[in-house]
Amino acid sequence: MAEQVRMVDIYIMGRHYQVPEGLTIMTALEYCGYRMIRGCGCRAGFCGACATVFNFKNDPQLRYDLACQKTIEQDMYLVQIPFFPSAKALYNLEEVEATGEQVLTLYPDLVKCFGCNTCTKTCPQELEVMWFMSDALRGDIREVANKSFDCVMCGLCAARCPQGLVPYNIALLCRRLYGRYLAPTSKHLEDRLAEIETGKFDAELEELKNMSQDKLRRRYAERDIEPAY
């Protein structure tokens, strides 16, 4: 079913190349002979290594995406941002509190956010970055955790923030605070840990470990299966 492949004009750091249509920015770079060292990780949209900036020959407005996920388009001008220096507060999670004041102590510049919304427009995951920044300002840690959850930490928000803020690191702090201090605890997990402590399962495990292959296979075949949903 293969038809004649259409070629697309792109510009990598200003230089013109022609590549077959349908490639991602990342595979287009490779097609042109670039061997990636930086700017390439999971190749699947999960790690944020491949933050990319582009615009078009006749349209100077900058756009942002993940190079491994974005398909090339005619007349794209491309460059990657594999590294951007940005601040990360160091803290001992056991010695901090899950409060808005704490977030502000660790990231005092947060108050400088003036709501320009550049971060939201930049986010390749299409997260409501500016809104979770204002949640952080108000000390609503749970909402920051919720809204920022799909963050791959590519750093584009920090690269573009005119105030030099680091939304992705602030969100990470909030998620950790939420997980450690605010999420309701699981009683069944605590119970199970206590049972393991008292050696409740030891005898049964010992028996299984020493069981003949045949018997083990039978036990396996006969085990009851909980419905999936």
Partner 1 sequence: MYPTYMKESIRKVEATRERRLKETFPRITEEEKTSLLQKFHPDFIKEGMRELLVGSNKGERTPNEMADVLEGNSRINPDKIDLDKIDYDVDVLVIGGGGAGASAALLAQENGATVLLTTKLRLGDANTVGAQAGTQAADRPNDSLAIHYLDTMGGGRFTNIPELVEVLVKDAPSVIKWLETLGVNWDKNPDGSMHELSGGGASRLRLHSARDYTGLEEMRVLRDEVKNRKIDYLEFSPTIELIMDNKGQIGGAILVNLETNELSLVRAKAVVMATGGTGRLHIQGFPTTNHYGATADGLVLAYRVGAKLIFMDTMQYHPTGAAYPLQILGQLVTEKVRTLGAQLVNVDGEQFIMPLEPRDVVASANIRECQERHKGIETPSGEVGVWLDSPMIDIIGGEGTIARQLPAMVRQFSRFNIDIIKEPMLVYPTLHYQNGGIKINTNGATIVPGLFAAGECEGGVHGRNRLIGNSTLDIFVFGRRAGRAAAQYAKEVKLGTLTLDHVRQWQAELKQAGLAELRPISPLLLPNYARQPYDYLPDYTKQILTVGQIKVA
**Residue number, 28 or 165, with CB nearest to partner 1:** 28
The string over 57-78, giving b where at least 16 C-beta atoms fall within 10 Å of a residue's C-beta and e elsewhere, is eeeeeeebbbbbbbebeeebbb
Which of 42, 79, 111, 116 touches partner 1 by CB under 8 A? Answer: 42
> What is the binding site for ligand FES (CB under 6 A)?
40-43, 45-50, 66, 68, 152
Instruction: Please report whether residue 4 would count as binding partner 1 according to CB under 8 A.
Output: no
From first CA to last CA, the distance across the chain in angstroms is 41
Per-position x/- string for 69-88, each x denoting binding to partner 1 as judged by CB under 8 A, each - no binding? xxx----------------x
| Torsion sign (Cα): 21, 84, 130, 55 | negative
CA nearest to 45, candidates 173, 167, 153, 169: 153
Instruction: Pick between residue 22 and residue 115 the one whose CB is nearest to partner 1.
Output: 22
Q: Does 220 bind partner 1 (CB under 8 A)?
A: yes
Integer Cα distance of 45 and 47 in angstroms? 6
Q: By CB under 8 A, is residue 204 in contact with partner 1?
A: yes
Interacting span for partner 1 (CB under 8 A) from 51-59, 112-120, 156-164, 200-208: 200-208
Q: Are 100 and 141 in contact (CB under 8 A)?
A: yes
**Beta carbon nearer to ligand FES, 48 or 167:** 48
Please give the residues from 123 up to 182 whose contact with partner 1 meets the rule CB under 8 A. 125-126, 145, 149-153, 172, 175-180
- The nearer residue to ligand FES, 48 or 100, going by C-beta atoms, is 48
Examine residue 37 and tell whether it contacts partner 1 (CB under 8 A): yes
Distance CA 151, CA 175 (A): 11
* Nearest distance, CB of residue 145 and partner 1, angstroms: 6
58 vs 73, beta carbon nearer partner 1: 73
The DSSP bridge pattern shows strands 59-66 and 15-20 to be unpaired
The pair phi, psi for residue 30, each rounded to 5°, is -70, -40
Considering only 26-34, 55-63, 108-116, 156-164, which stretch makes contact with partner 1 by CB under 8 A? 26-34
Tokens describing residue 146: 């919720």
